[in-house]
Structure 1
């Protein structure tokens, strides 16, 4: 019996490892192509136009929470647990996301019209173009189903096919001197093609055919009851990841947004790593949650990986930041160097925040996730108001670092139900030291 159990665990571990490798391949390819073409675009557009494109993406990102509706982790958990019929889960999740996307698009156009149409019509045009990507994001329920079954290989192939085509389109635009609005179309093309490819697979290759998807009011109510705190949490997370760029645009202008975005894009590349690792380990954490010792052991291992990898990335980037910015972006982006030196240390708390949020979902503590992110957002806005006038974009980077520390670490001391997370952080650090000393 023990042999059988061990073989099952080995098989599960191999599936997790394979899934992580495919997701890392996906993110690595996106990082590589995004870095090369993104830098080319940044150099071509210059800080001001590049700032407007990033401002548009930040604006849309804030409203993307209304598309996911906090359902991503909840849907994966429900699919893994098997408590509901999967064709009803997929159908209900898809229609909930599509409804949220349509509402979000209407709000995006209305709010951007009020804020940008007269003052900066070019930014308004970019935002409207990018806004339609919200509708395409509703198709990601297919990706979530594949993720739950550790079959990310399929979605990686489909999404990267779309990436290759959209990248070729961006190269065409660069070679033929197109204006910034066309690059917004290229971003929309990437998301739109990925959605179409996923829909095609759902129609032809998915075990649960798209024709069988059904709406279920009871499941919708259950999903929204468990995920509504995650909706607000996701909104606040995205808001305090992106609100800084909106504040910079309105307080310092598009050039400052361009310099700040150049630095932040490097840090954001690192933030892909905890998402890939945590998402791949999530099904195994759900399955282990009934065994406290096994569950905490797996969590400590996860935190250990994330803590040490984030510190390594932050140290190397801090030392090499002048070389990185000069080599990638050129002399016109020199103001991004001190921003990168500060902002890269937020990766430590981003890594911890991603994993601890998943832990809280598994343990049914979604409200705590909400409270933590509200504290992070509030502190970020207050610190930006104080630091931007005095320190410019360096003050924004400092505000972001402090707010992430508050959200994923310091706030855990406030709530009794989250204090154990900091103990797991400590266990994760000490366990590695213990193994090194052994």
Structure 2
């Protein structure tokens, strides 16, 4: 059975994902722009400082299940109700523990900073409601991502109106901190409603299923924590080595440089089911589809990053004002991070299909250590730009250098290298013999 790299149904599914993320991007860009101007670099940096705690604990709160659920739904569609119910229950427990742990850490690290503690507490509550986005993987396995798009869009539209209202009323930073929680709470309600409306199987909680999922996700949890270390180290160190304003500049640079990456996410999410199907039916197609996905992600990222590098200064000046000009240089660096970061995301399908999850552990431990060391060295010298350089170098190491050093992951590293060199990426044309040509 031959599997299409991008079937018509997958293309339609991707269309919904892209449309939803365009809406999110447009709203987020406008609202965050107004919010950043209103709050100023320091308070905007404080909100992003709170966001880093949530981002750090997301890997534990999700229990690494996001990398497994899609394959589980495809392999065992009859047990979907048990899988969804069990996964939500597990994530509710881990999310609650994560939120409590965040409060304990902030009480020590930022002792005496009451505003910081309040903002972090309000923001971290969103982890609990994120448990219900488990349902999106059930929709994705059925190539029905439009329903997940509807759920997340409703939540984001409501929270966007909420933020605009705060701007009109002149509320302080604490009101903005709880907006993320409102977003996920609304999306959770819509997710549950659409799941029931689409005939989703009755939810069950199975301890046996929970243990089975945890056995498979153990490596992903640890790897996720290591990824969180090098994703959050920069903002954490900027805040404690410099100030909140530096966090604000870095957050501005990151948000502008990555505003378009919803396209990459939609492409990867839509192509992944086809790659997993090819793994079961046609090994050659599986290898080629991975190579094609890597090439598409890399060259699309490089093209967009080149444009962002050229337009960084006028974009920051026009959109955020002179106060945010220190974000220009970090933005010109961090944009090149995208190509390597999303190659790592695209690698997830290969890792799951080949059962190489456990080998990600040393990969990400090494990456986390490298990132911490680079941030310590570069932030005191170059500030937010140093953090951007540290992130870029770390991601290059994670995507190419370390996988080539680890024998079990070396085939994937070679696949990525072949994709960048465009080797065996395009379908080969079938040769026609002379007699056929003459007949034509």
TM-score, with length taken from structure 1: 0.93
SS of the residue corresponding to residue 150 of structure 1 reads coil
2:420 is matched with which residue? 429
2:438 is matched with which residue? none
TM-score, with length taken from structure 2: 0.93
Q: Does the 8 A contact of 1:375 with 1:406 survive in 2?
A: no
SS of the residue corresponding to residue 64 of structure 1 reads helix
> Among 290, 295, 315, which residue is 1:299 paired with?
290
Q: CA–CA distance in 1 between the matches of 2:366 and 2:80?
A: 36
| Residue 148 of structure 1 pairs with residue 138 of structure 2 | no
Aligned residue-pair number: 428
1:75 is matched with which residue? 69
- 1:141-170, CA deviations, whole angstroms, 9 ceiling, x for partnerless residues? 211111111111011112211211111111
| Residue 245 of structure 1 pairs with residue 235 of structure 2 | yes
> Among 303, 307, 312, which residue is 1:312 paired with?
303
Q: CA–CA distance in 2 between the matches of 1:394 and 1:430?
A: 30
Q: CA deviation at 1:11?
A: 12
Q: 1:299 to 1:82 in 2, by over 3 A?
A: same
Q: Does the 8 A contact of 1:73 with 1:361 survive in 2?
A: yes
Alignment map for 1:22-421 (pairs within 5 Å)? 22-82=16-76, 85-118=79-112, 120-202=113-195, 204-209=196-201, 212-290=202-280, 291-421=282-412
SS of the residue corresponding to residue 205 of structure 2 reads coil
Q: 1:10 to 1:260 in 2, by over 3 A?
A: closer
Q: Does the 8 A contact of 1:274 with 1:351 survive in 2?
A: yes
Q: CA–CA distance in 1 between the matches of 2:176 and 2:136?
A: 26
Q: CA–CA distance in 2 between the matches of 1:437 and 1:199?
A: 45
Cα RMSD, aligned residues only: 2.0
Structure 1 unmatched runs, 5+:
none
- 1:156-199, CA deviations, whole angstroms, 9 ceiling, x for partnerless residues? 11221121111111111111211111111222211111111112
SS of the residue corresponding to residue 352 of structure 1 reads helix
- 1:79-135, CA deviations, whole angstroms, 9 ceiling, x for partnerless residues? 0111761111111111111111111111111111122241x2111111111111111
Structure 2 unmatched runs, 5+:
430-440
Q: 1:433 to 1:89 in 2, by over 3 A?
A: closer
Q: CA–CA distance in 2 between the matches of 1:298 and 1:88?
A: 31
Q: Does the 8 A contact of 1:240 with 1:377 survive in 2?
A: yes
2:437 is matched with which residue? none
Q: Does the 8 A contact of 1:92 with 1:219 survive in 2?
A: yes
Q: CA–CA distance in 2 between the matches of 1:18 and 1:349?
A: 26
